[in-house]
């Protein structure tokens, strides 16, 4: 007599031997298999048909690897964006502090903030730092949005 639990256990062993080792994808596939079997009488014929609709284990493994790679790429993009943000900020803040320190005397003497000139090194550091910071923010936001979009797809 056909035993569904034994057949599913053997199917899991076959999936493990084909290379699907992560428990989450394997549990998800088993859940889909059980849903296919829940609709009717569970015999060998329906079990074989449900396995056929699942697909070849090697193809399933390659599809799960694609998803894992794209998820990893998004996480790396988010991390690179955050690092770029901090690098850009670490360039901008000292440039602003140097500008303030250089112009404190002029401002204390009654000078107008808008009449204070920027030194070339301050302006250059400020411009480069702002560009790096904005690039980091943009990269992180883009990766995060695509990460969320893929999670809900």
What's this model's pTM, rounded to 2 decimal places? 0.56
Kindly compute the dihedral angle of the four CA atoms of residues 9, 10, 15, 20, in this order, to the nearest 10 degrees: 40
CA distances from 17 to 11, 20, 81 (A): 10, 7, 38
Note whether 55 and 33 are within 8 A (CB).
no
The pLDDT tens digits for 42-86 are 778 888 888 887 777 777 777 777 767 777 888 899 999 999 999
Judged by DSSP in three states, 112 sits in coil
Calpha distance 91→94 (Å, rounded): 6
Task: Tell me what percent of the residues of the chain surpass a pLDDT of 90.
Answer: 29
């Amino acid at each position: 007599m056909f035993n569904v639990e034994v057949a599913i256990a053997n199917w899991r062993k076959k999936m493990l031997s084909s290379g699907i080792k992560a428990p989450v994808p394997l549990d998800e596939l088993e859940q889909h298999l059980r849903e296919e079997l829940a609709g009717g009488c569970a015999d060998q014929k329906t079990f074989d048909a449900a396995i056929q609709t699942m697909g070849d284990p090697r193809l399933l493994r390659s599809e799960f690897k694609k998803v894992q790679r794209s998820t990893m790429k998004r996480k790396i993009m988010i991390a690179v964006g955050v690092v770029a943000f901090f690098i850009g900020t670490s360039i901008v803040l000292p440039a602003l502090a140097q500008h303030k320190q250089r112009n404190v005397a002029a401002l204390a003497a009654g000078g107008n903030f808008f009449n204070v000139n920027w030194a070339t090194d301050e302006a250059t550091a400020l411009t480069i730092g702002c560009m790096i910071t904005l690039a980091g923010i943009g990269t992180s936001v883009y990766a995060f949005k695509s990460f969320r979009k893929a999670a809900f797809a």
